[in-house]
């Protein structure tokens, strides 16, 4: 399946990292794996919460989670993926030598939405998305979660260089120098 915005976001982030972390990609973003998040250090179907599109890992910890949505805007989908990620505590995958990588104490969760397919004239999806972003940010950090910051972006497709850059700048600014 072809996911051009997923790949474009991953490429933009990779250019901005400058060795400050490892960008781990799922298949839609040009990688070769799924990125499952779990509650605790035991890998199992009972502890698995969700899969995300991109992770930035540094010093053996998850620093940033990025989720990209090209197929539409449903508040339940947006909030659901955020909450599942907030409940989880570790990334566990064979590519990481079987070890459970914990969330950092300060973790950024980013959602990127394809505005070219979502923001149709006459809708209020942009206002609804901003309201969701403001509300989630005002609730952070959630008790028991290490996600301390949340950002939501509309990018107008793969040609939206400014939109892609705004995502990578927020991620870059969040990471330690």
Cβ pair 167, 155 in contact under 8 A: yes
Tens of pLDDT along 25-70?
Answer: 999 999 999 999 999 999 999 999 999 999 999 999 999 999 999 8
Q: Which secondary structure element, helix H or strand E, spans residue 110, and what is its range?
A: strand 100-114
pLDDT at 118 over 80: no
**Any idea of the CA torsion for 157, 160, 165, 170, to the nearest 10 degrees?**
-50
What is the pLDDT, as a whole number, of residue 95?
Answer: 78
Categorize the per-residue pLDDT at 127 as very low, low, confident or very high, splitting at 50, 70 and 90.
confident
**Does residue 120 contact residue 69 with C-beta atoms inside 8 Å?**
no
Residue 13 has pLDDT above 90, yes or no: yes
Predicted confidence at residue 122, as pLDDT, reads 60
Instruction: Please tell me the predicted confidence (pLDDT) of residue 74.
Output: 84
* Nearest alpha carbon to residue 66 among 12, 4, 8, 108: 108
Query: Which residue would you say has higher pLDDT here, 65 or 99?
Result: 65
Q: Helices 125-139 and 75-87 meet at what angle, rounded to 10?
A: 20
Distance (Å, rounded) from C-alpha 50 to C-alpha 71?
18
Per-domain boundaries in the chain: 4-172
User: In the predicted model, is pLDDT for residue 1 greater than 70?
Assistant: no
Cα-flanking dihedrals φ and ψ of residue 110, to 5°?
Answer: -120, 135
For 138-176, how does the pLDDT look when each residue is reduced to its tens digit (9 = 90+)?
Answer: 999 999 999 999 999 999 989 999 999 999 999 999 998
């Amino acid at each position: 399946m072809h996911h051009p915005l997923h790949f474009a976001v991953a490429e933009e982030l990779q250019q901005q990292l400058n060795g400050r972390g490892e960008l781990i990609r799922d298949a839609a973003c040009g990688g070769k794996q799924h990125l499952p998040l779990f509650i605790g250090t035991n890998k199992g179907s009972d502890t698995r919460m969700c899969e995300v599109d991109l992770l930035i890992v540094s010093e053996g910890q998850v620093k940033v989670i990025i989720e990209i949505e090209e197929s539409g805007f449903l508040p339940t989908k947006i909030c659901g993926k955020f909450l599942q990620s907030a409940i989880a505590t570790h990334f566990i995958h064979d590519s990481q030598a079987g070890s459970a990588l914990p969330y950092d104490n300060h973790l950024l969760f980013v959602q990127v939405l394809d505005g070219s397919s979502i923001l149709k004239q006459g809708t209020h999806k942009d206002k609804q998305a901003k309201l969701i972003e403001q509300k989630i940010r005002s609730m952070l950090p959630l008790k028991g979660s290490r996600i301390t910051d949340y950002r939501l972006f509309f990018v107008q497709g793969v040609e939206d260089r400014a939109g892609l850059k705004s995502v990578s700048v927020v991620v870059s600014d969040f990471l330690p120098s």
